Amino acid sequence: MIQKLLIANRGEIACRIMRTARAMGIATVAVYSDADAKALHVRSADEAVHIGPSPAAESYLVGAKIIAAAKQTGADAIHPGYGFLSENADFAQAVLDAGLIWVGPKPSSIRAMGLKDAAKARMIEAGVPVTPGYLGSDQSLERLTTEAEAIGYPVLIKAVAGGGGKGMRKVDAPADFAASLESCRREAKASFGNDEVLLEKWITSPRHIEVQVFGDSHGNVVHLFERDCSLQRRHQKVIEEAPAPGMDAATREAICAAAVRAAKAVDYEGAGTIEFIADASDGLRADRIFFMEMNTRLQVEHPVTEEITGVDLVEWQLRVASGEPLPKQQGELSINGHAIEARLYAEDPAKGFLPSPGRVDRLLFDYRARVESGVEEGDAVSNFYDPMIAKVICHGVDREAARTDLVRWLDNSYVGPVRTNKAFLHACLSLPAFAEAALDTGLIEREETGLTAVSEPSALVLKTAGARFRRDWLDWTGWDSRPFKEGVFGFRLNAPARRTVALHLDGQRFEADAHAGDTSTGLCSNYEPDGTIIVTEAGQSYFFSTSPDVANGQASAADGAIIAPMPGKVIAVDVAEGQTVTAGQRLMVLEAMKMEHALTAPFDGVVEGLTVSAGAQVQVDAVLVTVVPASEKLHPSP
């Protein structure tokens, strides 16, 4: 058995792996960059080794530094988690060549499934159904355009390397193909170092179904049933569940058997996921489910599988990597209940899901759920990495029980002052289509406007804030009158105690009654020592301040000034000084947190004050360019 394990990762997955290792009596080693020096995974490990500067390319993605850290600490095994180097066959081989145990599949298996075109060809040989498309080596624009026409629009362009929704573009019409291909290739090159693509027929009613597989070095391969990851935004999973709703026994048997064949075709060992796309226009049917790709690692959403099977997949990984056979055979595995996972991110849905890095000053998680997190109160969400705060998993006797428990968790938990997608998750789980399991991967896109709308605090929210103020602040201070200086109702000795408190939220002023009446409104609320009152309704947390001096105002640039929404790198500039542009026209592309963000013209006008060029590193709120309204150019001020 492994004695000391180095986790070549960070955040919640590093913490999760450490928990199982500790339970198995295995010592743990963390690695960290400058940005993560005080991170939870570093504090949780038995030992920690600094491996470089904050950018992942100079720390977490440098295999030689990680292997050196293992040698330095006497670790005998390396677990890559997910992301970073987890599917890098060269790194896996380097670990083995260094005489260490690699907690993952053999390098040859990673290579076999690492490129989507080669993987699909191998799956065809193994009798696994695949989506119609083009897998050829001719990558010219002319050939790809011709193949797209032959497949029929809409088509999907996909990078042959990588995953996670990067390097993927849906193209609806021939006129859009060339531009989409260029963007896809650029993103794929930046993310994976490989700009080759394949083409697939776009499935019009798609559901994303994946099967957890596990193999050992003794020739055993089993499946642990399926997960449904159809609720996505721009190919990024938002909510995952297991088992897949609407999956009958015959279809489950067919898809899971195909997944096992796929794993055996590459002599697979360890944890892996076979991903399928299902044409759900007529429900889930075995003859309408097609292989997409294999993830040769542990998945972000693995906890839902653990919840319905009672299996600790990380423990299985460590045992298999140590040479043991699988702890259970296929006949010993079964489904118990239903589990749903939501990914809680530091991002602002109202602003196009832009990441919201910063210090997490307030964090309260409802205890009635499984929470996997790499963040504690007082920690910071770094702008260098994925902005995940936590994964929240609820398990129930059936799907509705799990769904309602997760909704309740979102109502009774809060994080701040960083913006989060908590209200967005609540809205997704509350959609009638989701509740009824009428799922497809386009559901969020169709409903996004309503899902991301920011609500003004309701009368009930204000009542709750006033009641919380009355119950906690007034009781604590003995009716000190200082917070009432902005608006006080007078009172007489024999009158009901009723006063008004001024509350501030994002630069707006609200008034709420702080009275001695009923303080039970059914909403989660809390009063903080700095005078902040937090109230949550429908997953949205309102952080009210009793002083305008500490209210959470949002800075804004002057009209027409295009500012950097986050720190990042300018990877493309599409305009020049003095150029005339139209509303919505792309001005430049900013790459941040491994994603591309297009910055567009707010109205018709002329470009002035272009301050950056491609390759420039910019800080948040930096003015990058200004668009002057066309009317002002025609009629300049005297």
DSSP string, 384-444: TS--EEEEEEEEESSHHHHHHHHHHHHHT-EEESS--SHHHHHHHHH-HHHHTT---TTHH
Residue with tokens 């045992």: 319
Catalytic residue among 297, 403, 419, 468: 297
Peptide bond just before 483 cis, omega within 30 deg: no
* Residue 545 clears pLDDT 90, i.e. is over it: no
Interacting residues of 436 by C-beta distance below 8 A, sequence separation 6+:
none
Place 635 in a pLDDT band, splitting at 50, 70 and 90.
Answer: very low
* Average pLDDT value for residue range 541-561: 59
Q: What is the pLDDT of residue 164?
A: 66
Of the candidate ranges 5-19, 322-336, 367-381, 606-620, the one whose mean pLDDT is the lowest: 606-620
Edge-to-edge strand ranges of the sheet holding 580-581: 561-563, 623-629, 605-608, 580-581
Tell me if 619 sits within 8 A of 565, measured CB to CB.
no
Which is higher by pLDDT, 593 or 331? 331
Q: What is the pLDDT of residue 526?
A: 83
Over 70: is that where the pLDDT of 533 sits? yes
Instruction: Note whether 295 and 212 are within 8 A (CB).
Output: no
Residue by residue, DSSP assigns 281-350 as BTB--GGGEEEEEEE-S--TTHHHHHHHH---HHHHHHHHHTTPPPSS-GGG----SEEEEEEEESEEGG
- Distance, in Å, from the CA atom of 354 to the CA atom of 221, rounded to the nearest integer, reads 41
User: Across residues 485-498, what is the average pLDDT?
Assistant: 40
Sheet of strand 236-242: strand arrangement: 289-295, 270-279, 206-215, 221-233, 236-242, 338-345, 388-396, 370-373
Predicted local distance difference test score (pLDDT) of residue 473: 56
Query: CA 117 to CA 619: how far, in whole Å?
Result: 38
**Tens digit of pLDDT for each residue in 464-475?**
888 887 766 555
pLDDT of residue 597: 79
For residue 31, what are the contacts with CB-CB under 8 A and spacing of at least 6? 6, 7, 8, 10, 48, 49, 50, 51, 59, 60, 65, 66, 69
CA dist 468 and 520 (Å) reads: 9
Label the pairing between strands 4-7 and 77-79.
parallel
pLDDT of residue 611: 87
pLDDT at 436: 97
The percent of residues in the chain predicted with pLDDT above 90, rounded, is: 64
And the tokens for 313? 């997949």
Q: In the sheet that 586-592 helps form, which strands lie side by side, from edge to edge?
A: 595-600, 586-592, 568-573, 617-618
The mean-pLDDT minimum among 24-28, 214-218, 377-381 falls in 377-381
Compute the average pLDDT of residues 384-410.
Answer: 96
Distance CA 2, CA 4 (A): 6
Domains of the chain: 4-103 (3.40.50.20), 132-201 (3.30.1490.20), 206-451 (3.30.470.20), 459-550 (no CATH), 561-634 (2.40.50.100)
Structure tokens of 613?
A: 């060029």
Helix, coil or strand: residue 19: helix
What are the backbone angles phi and psi of residue 469, rounded to the nearest 5°? -60, -45
Nearest 5°: phi and psi at 185? -65, -40
pLDDT by residue (tens digit) across 570-593?
Answer: 999 999 999 999 988 899 998 876
Tokens of 35: 């940005």
Count of residues for the chain?
Answer: 638
Q: How confident is the model at residue 486 (pLDDT cuts 50, 70, 90)?
A: very low
Per DSSP, 472 falls in state I
What is the pLDDT at residue 557?
38
pLDDT score of 549 more than 50 = no
Which residue is listed with tokens 């609720």?
A: 231
Cβ pair 264, 71 in contact under 8 A? no
Looking at per-residue pLDDT, the higher value among 93 and 498 belongs to 93
pLDDT value, residue 609:
84
What is the dihedral sign for C-alpha 550, 551, 552, 558?
negative
Quote the pLDDT of residue 512. Answer: 86
Choice among 77-91, 113-127, 422-436, 518-532 with the minimum mean pLDDT: 518-532
At residue 633, the pLDDT reads 54
- pLDDT exceeds 70 at position 360: yes
pLDDT grade for 15, boundaries at 50, 70 and 90: very high
- Is the pLDDT score of 492 beyond 70? no
For residue 435, what pLDDT is reported? Answer: 97
Taking residues 326-340, report their average pLDDT. 98
Q: What is the average pLDDT across 365-369? A: 91
Residue 506 pLDDT: 78
Strands 540-545 and 508-515, bridge-based pairing: unpaired
Q: Is the pLDDT of residue 251 over 70?
A: yes
Of residues 553, 120, 512, the one with CA closest to residue 294:
120
Mean pLDDT of 127-138: 89
Report the pLDDT averaged over residues 313-329.
98
What pLDDT does 524 receive? 87
Between 301 and 491, where is the model more confident?
301
**What rounded mean pLDDT belongs to the chain?**
88
As a whole number of angstroms, the distance between CA 314 and CA 298 comes to 8
Banded model confidence at residue 489, pLDDT cuts 50, 70, 90 = very low
Over residues 172-197, the mean pLDDT reads 92
pLDDT digits (tens, 9 = 90+) for 279-291: 998 899 998 999 9
> Please, which residues bridge with residue 499 across strands?
514
Kindly tell me if the per-residue pLDDT of 631 is higher than 90: no
Which one-letter DSSP state was computed for residue 58? G
> Which pLDDT value is given to residue 594?
61
Give 102's pLDDT tier (boundaries 50, 70, 90): very high
Output Rg (C-alpha) for the chain, integer angstroms.
Answer: 26
Residue 493's Cβ-count burial label (10 Å; 0-12, 13-18, 19+) is exposed
- Best mean pLDDT range from 345-349, 377-381, 403-407: 403-407
Active site residue 499: no
Average pLDDT over residues 121-150: 92
Residue 87 pLDDT exceeds 90: yes
